[in-house]
Amino acid sequence: MEILHVSAECYPVAKAGGLGDVVGALPKYQQDAGHQAKVVMPMYRTKFLYNNDFDVVHKGYTNIGDYFFDYTIIKEKTNKLGFGLYLVDINGLLD
Specify if 60 maps to a domain: yes
Tell me if the bond preceding 12 is cis, omega within 30° of 0. Answer: yes
Specify if 68 maps to a domain: yes
The total number of structural domains in the chain stands at 1
- Whole-number pLDDT of residue 93: 76
* Residue 45 parent element (H or E): none
Q: Which domain holds residue 17?
A: 2-90
What are the angstrom distances between the C-alpha of 18 and each of 23, 33, 34, 56, 95? 9, 23, 25, 29, 22
CA dihedral 81, 86, 91, 94 (to 10 degrees): -60
**pTM for this model (two decimals):** 0.92
> What tens digit of pLDDT does each residue of 42-71 get?
999 999 999 999 999 999 999 889 988 899
In terms of Cβ atoms closer than 10 Å to its own Cβ (0-12, 13-18, 19+), residue 6 is: exposed
Specify if 23 maps to a domain: yes
CA 50 to CA 7: how far, in whole Å?
A: 20
Specify if 95 maps to a domain: no
- Whole-number pLDDT of residue 95: 65
Specify if 44 maps to a domain: yes
Region for residue 34 given its phi and psi (left: phi exceeds 0; alpha: psi -120 to 50; beta: otherwise): left
Specify if 36 maps to a domain: yes
